Structure 1
Amino acid sequence: MTTETTPPTLESVHWVEGPWSLATSRRFWEGFSPSALAVSEVSDEIRAVFLSDTDWHRVEATIVQEGDSARIRVTGAGDLTAATSQVRRFLSIDIDGRGWRDVADRDPVIADAQRRLPGFRPCGFYSPYEAAAWSVLSQRIQMRQAAAIKQRLTDEHGEGGAFPAPAVIRGLELDLPGRKNEYLHAVAEAALDGVLSGERLRGLAPETALDEVQGVLGLGPFAAELVVIRGANSPDVLPRNEKRLTAEIEEQYGVARSVAEITDQWRPYRSWAAVHLRALREERTGEIERSRPVRSR
């Protein structure tokens, strides 16, 4: 006879510096198919199932907003303190956002974006590893197709809704087009070597972080920006290979000033400003295909 043990749980409350709205962030994340967010039926919380990028254990997390604080409850077998830090990182609530309003004072376009997305903070992939894997899967195919492949990998080789661990991916020989299988193996190796650690990439200068990610086989400049900006959630990295962002800047600001001059006003939140503009452009144009959110049972 075997006895099931309840995995450990850690619950903590964290003050969020600057504006933050869980509801606005949830609204955006529900439509962000690459992250495969397990959206809770409870409207005032976010639930997530992911791999800790420190020990690759499966973690379940519940996040609730309490005024200017976030209550985070994590359950799993690994380092739950590190997992809590990862939650704060992929929700961008570990960033001091008190200066974000100053960007609005300098830039009326960003002021309008902040009004339309009150308290929004960029939230993306659970880890740079998952962002890198998505970059490989989505190369040269439609987002909906890539999302289906990612979901199949999760269902067949993951653990309880979490994307497969790097050691698992490294051992798979998948029937994927082109060199995707080889590139996924390289991503897995980089994750196991610590190259794709969210904490590590956040601690590097942006240019260094981008260069190191591009050192992983199969990850070019566009992928590196996705990994650093949407995987490590670095707050002040300007995407230079995102055509839709460039188009939106030209549409909102005209061409009288250079992109460098315009975006210099966004420091030290260039990533935040870029994601705000991209989110609003997507709402307006529907340029990117989206799949239905994965709902928790």
Structure 2
Amino acid sequence: MAHHSVEVAVQGPWSLATSREFWEGFTPAALPARPGEALRATFLVEGEWRRASVSVTQRGATAVLDLSGEGDLDLAAAQVCRFLSLDVDGRAWPDVGQRDPVIASAQALLPGLRLCGFYSPYEAAAWSVLSQRIRMSQAAVLKASLLREGVFPAPAELLALDLDLPGRKPEYLRAVAEAALDGLLDAVTLRSLKPAAAVLAVRQVKGLGPFAAELVVLRGANAPDAVPHNESRLTDEVAQRYGRPLAEVSEAWRPYRTWAAVHLRVLRERRLGGAMAPA
């Protein structure tokens, strides 16, 4: 097994502790993330679909990625930077708070938070299928039943499984796996497109409607500057805090509209006693 260490100069505010808290989940009764403790993850390297593990630590404005695995660890490092938003130039993120006092408050309460997404658009799409029409807790049980040594199956493995799942979930999961193998859910490609075009491309995959396609682009490819149009809880939060439509309010959030939206969602879940975690 190969090992590789990468140092990433993070541009703009970033806190490993805050991101780790977001990554692992938050409840009012939970202990806060301990400063300096590593964020650890094991995932499939997109395209190769081989396992890789990473331990992320912070040294000032530098993220240190210690990677191991059997695949291309340079690709794995780029993927880690993408799903932790370390590849985004966040130097103008404080300016959004200067323009919008609601976001300024969120930035103060969540210092250094960067959007932490799914490991890949493929896994985001699979989660979208698993969570359709059932509770999140039920979807989590279904996902756990598919894991192989703690990692979601590669697309080819998923196609070979005898999926004992309710409704049309087996059919839709196979469509997601085939789309991943065909390159239709590639994160680099989706990030290179305008968000609306990327969402439209993802909607071509059977079983992925508007909400799911947005999740794949915004939280799978981790696009930093897009507005979720099908997230009712965000729409409600904006209506409550601003009294104006999301489309109008979000103009002040460019070029970090996804980041701002997630900050508001985290504040909402905290206020209502919910979770602060990626799906």
TM-score, length basis structure 2? 0.94
Q: Which residue of 2 aligns with 1:77?
A: 70
SS in 2 for 1:265: helix
By how many angstroms is 1:235 displaced? 0.2
Instruction: Work out the CA distance in 2 between the residues paired with 1:231 and 1:105.
Output: 29
1:22 aligns with 2:11: no
What is the alpha-carbon distance in structure 2 between the residues aligned to residue 72 and residue 18 of structure 1? 18
Q: Once the two structures are superposed, what CA deviation does each residue of 1:124-151 show, in whole Å capped at 9, x if it has no partner?
A: 2111110000000000000011011111
What is the CA-CA distance between 1:203 and the residue it aligns to?
Answer: 1.1
Residue in structure 1 matched with residue 254 of structure 2 by the alignment: 267
Corresponding residue for residue 238 of structure 1:
227
For residues 146 and 122 of structure 1, what CA distance do their matches in structure 2 show? 22
Shift in CA distance, 288/178, structure 1 to aligned 2, threshold 3 Å: farther
Kindly tell me: are residues 208 and 244 of structure 1, through their superposed partners in 2, closer, same or farther at Cα, counting changes over 3 Å? same
TM-superposed deviation, 1:44: 1.5
Cα offset for 1:167? 0.3
The answer for the alignment partner of 1:220 in structure 2 is: 209
Aligned with residue 130 of structure 2, among 116, 119, 137: 137
Q: Which amino acid aligns with 2:257?
A: R
Residue 264 to residue 42, structure 1, CA distance change in 2 (3 Å): closer
Q: In structure 2, do the counterparts of structure 1 residues 235 and 91 end up closer, same or farther at CA, with 3 Å as the change threshold?
A: same
State the 4+ residue runs in structure 1 displaced beyond 4 angstroms.
40-43, 287-291
Contact 2:114 2:259 in 1 (8 A): yes
Amino acid at match of 1:55: E
CA contact (8 A) 2:211 2:231 kept: yes
The structural deviation recorded for 1:66 is: 0.7
Question: Is 1:101 the counterpart of 2:84 in the alignment?
Answer: no
Instruction: Specify the alignment match of 2:29 in structure 1.
Output: none
1:174 aligns with 2:163: yes
1:195 to 184, 199, 216: 184
Paired residues in the alignment total 273
Q: Post-superposition shift, 1:41?
A: 9.3
Please tell me the residue identity of whatever aligns with 1:275.
V
SS in 1 for 2:141: helix
Determine the C-alpha separation between the residues in 2 that align with 1:20 and 1:84: 17
Q: What is the percent sequence identity of the aligned residues?
A: 58
Structure 1 residues 215-247: Cα deviation after superposition (integer angstroms, max 9, x where no partner): 000000000111011111000010000000000
- 8 Å Cα contact 1:144-1:289 kept in structure 2: no
- Distance apart, 1:171 and its partner CA: 1.3
CA distance in 1, matches of 2:133, 2:47: 31
2:238–2:245 contact (8 Å) kept in structure 1: no
d(CA) in 1 for partners of 2:201 and 2:123? 16
Instruction: Report if the CA contact (8 A) 2:269-2:276 is conserved.
Output: no
Change (3 A) 1:209 1:261: same
Q: Is the 8 A contact 2:17 2:34 kept in 1?
A: no
Change (3 A) 1:181 1:205: same
- Structure 2 spans left out of the alignment, 5+ residues: 27-32
Q: CA RMSD in A?
A: 1.9
